[in-house]
Structure 1
Amino acid sequence: MAADITAIILTKDEEINIADCIKSIVTTVKRIIVIDSYSSDHTVEIAEECGAEVIQHRFVTHAKQFKYAVEASNISTTWILRIDADERLTPESALELELTCNENEKTDVTGVIVRFKKNFLGKDLYHGGVYPWKKMVCYKTGKGDIENREMDEHIIVSEGKVVELKNDSLHLDFKSLEVWTSKHNWYSTKEASDYEKEYTEGDSIEQRSLKTLFKAKIYYKLPIGTRAHLYYLYRYYFKMGFLDGREGQIYAFLQAYWYRYLVDAKIYEKTKSIEGQK
């Protein structure tokens, strides 16, 4: 039987993905809510045909959109699952999530980490620190919240234990290099904005994920530019991204010398603009 879970999916023009995403969870959860940012394609119609409830809401950030979803949906289930339209539970991970949530309805387990396998340029990546890509996307209602960040936001539970699934789910976000670079250009602007707010303006980072704390305490303490180079060396050599062949090399290079360096360049651009105003 389905676990007592409400699934939340945030969408914007996801007609290619939404049906497969919903089909991967429909027998595992009791309720599916799609928060759509006024898609111009057939996302809404497809989602409704697949049995999801659809609410449209103007997009600001992923964190704010998810918070709105939780507040507006009147959720009464024990668990909440956050899943993206380009993510899929496999039959094995779906069954494992269902059993895990059912078995822990009345235990002190409040969060579930799901393992994802990434596919880039048509190849599954198993090295470079990207496998398994772990995210806590399922938590007990009222026991968790999402970081209020513009980019790379994580769910954090306020109490209890967190367990991890053993079976892989799928993260199918790669459409083309043109789409990938365009999306990461947008991401870099959001990341630079987070840097300005969180790491230079004194915002509290106590209730942050370990990844966010690492960025604040270590990564952004390194010299600008140098940190992107070290990031590449770490992913491609230390984490053996080279074992994924040419696809692994391209992925590591673009993540470091295009995306991470672009973030640094935008931080530098902002710094120069502020200095020029003085």
Structure 2
Amino acid sequence: MKSPLTVIILTFNEAKKIKDCLGSVIDFASEIFVVDSGSTDQTLEIISEYSEVKVFHHAFENYSQQRNWALENLPIKTGWILNLDADQRLSNEFKVEVGNYFQKGIPENINGFLASRKTIFMGKWIKYGGHYPTFHAMMFRKGKGNCEQKLYDQHYVVSGDTLQLKGDVIDLITESLSTFTLRHDKWSTLESIQQFNLKNPTAETVSGNLNGNPMQRRRYFKNLYERMPLFVRPFLYFIIRYFFLLGFLDGKRGLIFHFLQCFWFRFLIDAKIYELRKQQKNNPY
């Protein structure tokens, strides 16, 4: 029996990934919507093989706006919404656990569920270095969640209480090292602009709270990180993640991942913030 929820998937040239993503939800969700932002590969052709999937088209501005556009404009009929990217798949454990919640009845005060991503990098599960578990508000009641307005590292904000799931969402984060570095170069630009502008948090943003849920605790430490000096913090972050949080136990592929994700990416962000500051100093107006 399908669960009474709607799955929303964002796509752009995801021909290599979308089939497995849809395969993980087609027997699980009552509704499936894809919001495509102009794919030019075989993505839409592959999706057309699934008669249950409804495709909507919307020009891409940024991830926050695209996700919120989907929440506000899709003809969602179910009371619950699950958000996925094309490189994510639902684990069987996740589907069984959520299905059990629907069968038993979800308490009225619960408006969302947190689930951890299980990152797969170069075919290996990245289990150490503080990278697992990392919880996100993957699923929430219709009208009780939205995506925070950030250029990078956006989370869904849920109004009300949440429960933490044991089942994971599998996240295949790279097709190749070239794809990984190109994406992170783009994301480093967005993150550097975001930190450079120092936008104040609002009610639409996940609040940092050391005593809160896993998302809030993670945001608390990220806020601490952002207050540290440029170029110092990537070194400290990598040392903590790789040595103190046992990232070295992930082996050679783990070394590649933790170095690129914890040091190279963060250092690139700092270098771009430094560049923005120099440009502002040279062009104060």
Name the TM tier (shorter chain).
over 0.9
Q: CA deviation at 1:104?
A: 4.0
TM-score by length of 1: 0.93
Instruction: Give the equivalent residue in structure 2 for 1:266.
Output: 272
Structure-2 residue corresponding to 1:18: 18
Q: State the AA in 1 paired with 2:178.
A: E
Distance in structure 1 (CA, Å) of the matches to 2:75 and 2:155:
22
Q: Deviations over 1:14-67 (max 9, x none)?
A: 011111111101122110000001100111121132231101111111110011
The answer to whether the 8 Å contact 1:205/1:213 transfers is no
Answer yes or no: is the 8 Å Cα contact 1:6–1:31 preserved in 2.
yes
TM-score normalised according to structure 2 size: 0.91
Q: How far 1:131 moved relative to its partner?
A: 1.5
Looking at structure 1, the residues matched to 27 and 100 of structure 2 have their Cα atoms a distance apart, in angstroms, of 12
1:59 is paired with a residue whose SS is coil
- What is the root-mean-square deviation in Å for CA atoms of aligned residues? 1.6
- Could you say which residue in structure 1 is the equivalent of 2:121? 120
Q: Identify the residue that residue 98 of structure 1 maps to in structure 2.
A: 99
Amino acid at match of 1:17: K
- The SS at the match of 2:165 is strand
Tell me if structure 1 keeps the 8 A contact 2:149–2:205: no
Identify the residue that residue 144 of structure 2 maps to in structure 1: 143
**Whole-Å separation in 1 of the counterparts to 2:257 and 2:137:** 24
Corresponding residue for residue 229 of structure 2 = 223
The answer for the alignment partner of 1:79 in structure 2 is 80
**Contact 2:149–2:204, Cα closer than 8 Å, also in 1:** no
**1:172-215 CA distances to partner (integer Å, 9 max, x unpaired)?**
12211111000000010111122133x2x5x3345422244543
In structure 2, relative to structure 1, the CA distance for the partners of 1:102 and 1:260 (3 Å cut) is farther
Q: Which residue of 2 aligns with 1:204?
A: 201
8 Å CA contact 1:92–1:167 kept in 2: the answer is yes
Identity of aligned residues (%): 36
Structure 2: segments with no counterpart, 5+ residues: 207-215
Q: Runs in 1 of length 4+ with deviation above 6 angstroms? A: none
Aligned to 2:9: 9
Measure, in 2, the Cα distance between the counterparts of 1:157 and 1:104.
19
Distance (Å, rounded) in 2 between the aligned partners of 1:101 and 1:272: 54
